[in-house]
Amino acid sequence: MPPLVLFALQLLTLALLLAVLYRPLGDYMATVYSSTRHLRVEKVIYRLTGVNQDAEQTWPIYFRSVLAFSAVGILAVYGLQRLQAFLPFALGLPAVSEQLSFNTAISFVTNTNWQSYSPEATMGYSVQLLGLAVQNFLSAAVGIAVAVALVRGLARAASPTLGNFWVDLVRGSLRILLPFAAVAAIVLLAGGVIQNFAGFQDVGTLAGGTQSIPGGPVASQEAIKLLGTNGGGFFNANSAHPFENPTAWVNLVEVLLMLAIPFALPRTFGRMVGDNRQGYAILAAMGTFFVLSVSLLSALELGGRGTAPVLAGGAMEGKEQRFGELGSALFGTTSTLTSTGAVNSMHDSYTALGGGTTMLNMMLGELAPGGVGSGLYGMLVIAILAVFIAGLMVGRTPEYLGKKLGAREIKLASLYILTTPTLVLVGTALSFGIPVIRESVIGTSILNPGLHGFSEVLYAFTSAANNNGSAFAGLTANTPWFNTALGVAMLLGRLLPILFVLALAGSLAAQEKVPVTAGTLPTHRPLFVGLLCGTVVIVSALTYFPVLALGPLAEGLL
């Protein structure tokens, strides 16, 4: 089948499945977070934890709840790793080192799932299930809760509160993520993803030798890893491993799982603010970037620019034959445009400009459609900035959904936008700018010196600060510097944006709504969608173009 036809069929199939899910899933999530009814099991949880389910929280209390919950999660995952040798199903593996435990605990609690280790050789089943898989649910639920809090800020008038974090967390986990993950796990099992506690088994190879093959409860973790846009694989090869992603149709299902909730959340937003057209506008901007990105990456990988790909007849290095360039490009685009970080091919082996495209996807802020929750609140912050820019053009006080955007709102939006670029650029600069650290980075971590080595470090900090978790696999990141620096980048890259989003939500919720007039900018029409897309491009291009020119762009032009 010609590549262009296969690409069109693949994209149209995915678009059709997402269109089928958009309305029912989006409406269901709106109902979950708008309902005043508590399920019996939820009441039991509230009673055991001492939560008053009917009490609303101001934004500072909501944020402190997020902080407290994240701190407990980090301590729990860290403790499980350090005590691994004493846990059942440890598979004889020792305790994880202090620095790696620190990095991994932050990684999974912040929905990053960056892995500086080989999972099957480092983590036993108890740590994988009780620590990592549990955080896959909880970190995703936190992301949706924060997005819903911002939507409430836009929907409410003269309200001092944004809801209750603990209620939002429990509902997101029990009513959305858990049931959908259970269904997804069954589908993956039917597709050949394994689910067992078999441990390591020695099998004969075709060459006459033996190899130790690990088993594990993979399907259950794979489902929430993708549905919650987490990304941490059960195996080192992640979704390139046949036990995690065995066939081409399972690959498409896994892509669908990554996109389902983020693409449905604009519908939830439209329902909760009482205007579905607003959700369609956000969806259109997300969809535009997604289609452009997957088209660009597919073209770059099919073109195979570079000496080795040209000689080989295609850019298949680091890719699985069962997926090919197109299945790999679709998965890679999806994982870097969401905050998933899962991979079914090695981005380090992509063409220079192809690898740069995956990096750019994260640098855009992972807005198309972004991570579970984080994509929606990120795009809404950009929408607020776009409305402000439009207001400056016509000399009118900007308004979004009946809320005036003053100095406080724009400062908070600006701080949100500046957070991750600062972490990325400072982390990369320190890696090469401090002599002692540079010696470790160049001598130990970078396997491909020169422009590509620089790109590997830039990718690592971009992935960590944006809470993505994917990596250029050529970088050895299990070192004191990277475990510490990337851990800090992941933590600040998660909590600081949440702080600014919740402060913005509180400011908007406290306002009265102003009536729509002839001078109000319509935010549901194609003109606004174009303005929204342009704002994303301008903000990212002005911030990241210089550093991209030092890495993937320079390498691609050689």
Residue 82, beta-bridge partner list: none
CA dihedral 507, 511, 513, 517 (to 10 degrees): -80
Rounded mean pLDDT, 308-332:
80
Encoded tokens for 387? 């409305």
Q: Find the mean pLDDT for residues 529-552.
A: 91
At residue 99, what is the residue type? Q
Classify 545 as helix, strand or coil: helix
Q: How far is it, in rounded angstroms, from Cα 405 to Cα 419? A: 20
pLDDT, tens digit, 9 for 90 and up, residues 441-460: 999 999 888 888 999 999 99
State how far the Cα of 21 lies from the Cα of 368, in Å rounded to an integer. 17
Q: Is the pLDDT of residue 313 over 60?
A: no
The DSSP bridge pattern shows strands 403-404 and 399-400 to be antiparallel
Q: Which has the higher per-residue pLDDT, 278 or 215?
A: 278
More confident site: 309 or 296: 296
pLDDT recorded at residue 489: 97
Q: What is the pLDDT of residues 414-444, one digit of tens each?
A: 999 999 999 999 999 999 999 999 999 999 9
| Model pLDDT for residues 247-284, shown as the tens digit of each residue | 999 999 999 999 999 999 999 999 999 999 999 999 99
Q: What is the mean pLDDT of the chain?
A: 92
In this prediction, residue 410 carries a pLDDT of 95
For 254-282, b/e burial (b = at least 16 CB within 10 A) is: bbbbbbbbbbbbbbbbbbbbebbebbbbb
User: When comparing pLDDT for 338 and 211, which is higher?
Assistant: 338
Q: What Rg do the C-alpha atoms of the chain give, in angstroms?
A: 23
Average pLDDT over residues 50-59: 95
Predicted local confidence at residue 447, as pLDDT: 83
The arithmetic mean of pLDDT across residues 302-328, rounded, is 76
Whether the predicted pLDDT of 315 surpasses 80: no
Q: How confident is the model at residue 308 (pLDDT cuts 50, 70, 90)?
A: low
Whether residue 466 is predicted with pLDDT greater than 60 in this model: the reply is yes
pLDDT at 348: 87
> Do 345 and 332 form a contact (C-beta atoms < 8 A)?
yes
On the question of pLDDT at 205 being above 80, the answer is: no
pLDDT of residue 126: 93
Burial class, 520, CB count within 10 angstroms (exposed 0-12 / middle 13-18 / buried 19+): middle
Confidence of residue 63 (pLDDT cuts 50, 70, 90): very high
The mean pLDDT value for 496-519 works out to 93
Q: What confidence tier does 19 reach under pLDDT thresholds 50, 70, 90? A: very high
pLDDT tens sequence across 101-155: 999 999 999 999 999 888 988 999 999 999 999 999 999 999 999 999 999 999 9
Can you read off the two tokens belonging to residue 96? 């994880």
Name the 3-class secondary structure at 455.
helix
pLDDT for 518 beyond 80? no
User: What per-residue confidence (pLDDT) applies to 523?
Assistant: 93
- Residue 474, pLDDT > 90, answer no
Mean pLDDT of 33-58: 95
Residue with tokens 């099919």: 302
At 212 the three-state DSSP class reads strand
Instruction: Tell me the DSSP string of 97-114.
Output: PHHHHHHHHHHHHTT---
Q: Count, in order, helices (H) and strands (E) of the chain.
A: 22, 4
Q: Which residue has the higher pLDDT, 304 or 491?
A: 491
pLDDT score, position 4 = 85
Which of 36-50, 199-213, 270-284, 353-367 has the weakest average pLDDT?
199-213
pLDDT digits (tens, 9 = 90+) for 480-495: 999 999 999 999 999 9
Q: By CB neighbour count within 10 A (0-12 exposed, 13-18 middle, 19+ buried), where does 414 fall?
A: middle
pLDDT higher than threshold 60 for residue 310: no
Compute the distance between CA of residue 509 and CA of residue 42 in angstroms, rounded to an integer: 27
SS3 call for 325: helix
Per-residue pLDDT, 357: 93
Read off the pLDDT of each residue in 158-167 and give the average, rounded to a whole number. Answer: 96
CA distance 131 to 117: 16
423 or 514, higher pLDDT: 423
